[in-house]
Amino acid sequence: MKKIEGSLILREKNIERKIALISYLAQQSRLDVLEMLYKRGNGHWGGSASVAEILAMLIFHIMKIDPQNPAWPNRDRLVLSKGHAAPILYVLLAMRGFFDISNLKSSFRTLNSRFQGHPCMNKTPGVDMSTGALGHGLSVSLGMALAAKILKNDYRTFVIIGDGDLNEGVTWEGIMAAAKFKPPGLFIMVDYNKVQLDGPSDIIMPLDPLLDKFKSFNLRVSDKIYDGHSVVEIMESFEWMMQNRNEPVVVIYKTRKGKGISFMEDNYKWHGGKVDEKSYLLGKDELNKTLEKLSHLIFVEKES
């Protein structure tokens, strides 16, 4: 299948075509992640696959960032609180120009590598916060947003949390504090795939009615639960967030753990299960078939 360069998306002015390109890039990135996990023999597929479109939209359309100056003080901040989804973050940052993807693939999860199993802000360009211990990301993001308010800076802070984060008390402490201090430009995004390391969230620790729980903390919450795999709906969610950016906002995205590979979807065993050769070949075939369908929205239209 054809591969697209990240620069193609950044140059695109037509919004419908950009949506198609981002959808294609998210799926292309899933293929890169699956290959990395297979070759290394470990890593997290499920949560990487569920957040692909959301991260692709952030990195290639929404966020104000500069790969040539990763520490730019006025850049938008991104905190991937569900740090086990680092593989998809790394691939998309590489596509955005923060580092070379061949170096990523050759050194992923190796000793002393910049690309560990969870993001490290001290090693990896484009990573704003080291995460992995679930629950801390939202509180750290609140601190970043409060700093922007105090310093009268206009950068925005995006934090992505998952089911495991929402099992942690520190997450809800952060939500209480966000509701009290109300820093503008704090965007809390929930990758709600309802599956965790050891099983379905409804069995481990039920979270529904999640939307009502957020509202009960006196936060601004979108009434719509968006499809986290539809770039159109993700873009719509960002429009809502920007309309309410003068206070912290919460958006919930319905996603599927292991999205893109039928026998891995919604299966907790693929949270971090080893991708063996058989699984890799079957999964790769499914991802490529979807990529081929998406390609008709880009290449055929362009060529015709």
For 82-96, what is each residue's pLDDT tens digit? Answer: 999 999 999 999 999
Q: Please give the mean pLDDT across all residues of the chain.
A: 96
pLDDT at 303: 47
Residue 145 counted as domain residue: yes
pLDDT at 2: 84
pLDDT digits over 12-40, tens only?
A: 999 999 999 999 999 999 999 999 999 99
Residue 234 counted as domain residue: yes
Confidence of residue 299 (pLDDT cuts 50, 70, 90): confident
- pLDDT at 302 exceeding the cut of 90: no
Residue 281 counted as domain residue: yes
pLDDT at 298: 85
Average pLDDT of the segment spanning 46-63: 98
Residue 1 counted as domain residue: no
Average pLDDT of the segment spanning 183-196: 97
Query: What percentage of the chain reaches a pLDDT higher than 70?
Result: 98
Structural domain that includes position 64: 6-303
pLDDT at 221: 98
CA distances from 60 to 5, 26, 73, 156, 249 (A): 11, 11, 19, 15, 21
pLDDT digits over 226-242, tens only?
A: 999 999 999 999 999 99
pLDDT at 205: 95
pLDDT digits over 107-121, tens only?
A: 999 999 999 999 999
- pLDDT at 304 exceeding the cut of 90: no
| CA 238 – CA 255 distance, rounded (Å) | 16
Confidence of residue 300 (pLDDT cuts 50, 70, 90): low
Residue-by-residue DSSP string for the chain: -----HHHHHH---HHHHHHHHHHHHHHHHHHHHHHHHHHS----HHHHHTHHHHHHIIIII----TT-TT-TTSPEEEESSGGGHHHHHHHHHHHTSS-HHHHHHHTT-TT-S--SS--TTTSTT--S---STTHHHHHHHHHHHHHHHTT----EEEEEETTGGGSHHHHHHHHHHHHH--TTEEEEEEE--EETTEEHHHHS---SHHHHHHHTT-EE-SSPEETT-HHHHHHHHHHHHHTTTS-EEEEEE--TTTT-TTTTT-GGGSS----HHHHHHHHHHHHHHHHHHHIIIIIHHH-
pLDDT digits over 157-170, tens only?
A: 999 999 999 999 99
- How many structural domains compose the chain? 1
Average pLDDT of the segment spanning 134-153: 96
Written as one letter, the residue type at 47 is: G
CATH number, domain with residue 259: 3.40.50.970
pLDDT digits over 248-298, tens only?
A: 999 999 999 999 999 999 999 999 999 999 999 999 999 999 999 999 888
